[in-house]
Amino acid sequence: MRIRRKPWARPELAEWENCIDVPAENRGKWHSVFKNDAPLMIELGCGKGGFISKLAVAHPETNFIAVDIKSEMLGLAMRNIKREYAAANREVDNVYIFSQEIMLINKVFSAEDKCDRIYINFCNPWPKTHDHKKRLTHNNQLMQYREFLKDGGEIRFKTDNDDLFLSSKRYFTECGFELTYVTEDLHNSGFDDNIETEHEKMFSEQGIPIKFLIAKKLTVNPFEIEASDVENKASQLENDADQPQNMNKN
């Protein structure tokens, strides 16, 4: 996404104690950064922060981390977070942000961080086959996330893109995740636990249905899953694509 330069972003982020300058220093120690053992949820590719700011202020019992590579985005996210907390008359005490290349996310999180949930909202679909490995839901990425996501932890994924959604259902299944909720039209699915992101608003205003899934991490080693099981599951998912499955909101 193109975004105008924001000369204020880096200096303002440097001044804000909830923006972490060298996140790798906290690898495996994020709970001590928050000074508690509350559940940890991470948004990958937070953009302008409309989603994380509303989610984090609504859930003081949970710790949140939002990651993006662009300082311009993080600057806007910081301002959105500050605004939401000020409106709620609260200190920003349960959310940190930082800049990180998500392809290298394991440099900043490890199994000791025991992440409960990852949010991936409207990541780049990388439509060309030779770019599929750059998708944030590609197997290479999911296998990294598995390392710091708890067993039974989940990934919540939203997209406007049909091809990315179809492929992602297969990626998740191949990498040892169970799809506990799938809808091709989130806003008409009856799922009532949704916070709209900036891209979600833009796409839904264009009449594009929002695809959404919840994938639960299974304890199995994904490489022990039979290839035929994966294919069967993937084709079943394609057939069932329009049918919301059991609601699992926790």
Q: How far is the CB of 246 from ligand SAM (least distance, A)?
A: 25
188 to 207, contacts with ligand SAM by CB under 6 A? 197-200
The DSSP annotation for 120-175 comes to EES-----SGGGGGGSTTSHHHHHHHHHHEEEEEEEEEEES-HHHHHHHHHHHHHT
9 to 48, contacts with ligand SAM by CB under 6 A? 45-47
Q: How far is the CB of 55 from ligand SAM (least distance, A)?
A: 12
Contact between 143 and ligand SAM per CB under 6 A: no
Q: Which residues contact 147 (CB under 8 A, 6 or more apart)?
A: 106, 109, 110, 111
Q: Among 9, 56, 66, 68, which residue interacts with ligand SAM (rule: CB under 6 A)?
A: 68
Q: Among 20, 66, 78, 102, which residue interacts with ligand SAM (rule: CB under 6 A)?
A: 102
Q: How far is the CB of 146 from ligand SAM (least distance, A)?
A: 18
Q: Pick the closest to residue 101 from 142, 44, 31 (CA basis).
A: 44
Give the position of tokens 């057939």.
239
Q: Pick the closest to residue 164 from 192, 203, 222 (CA basis).
A: 203
Q: How far is the CB of 109 from ligand SAM (least distance, A)?
A: 13
- Which residues are near ligand SAM by CB under 6 A? 1, 45-47, 68-70, 73, 101-103, 121-124, 197-200
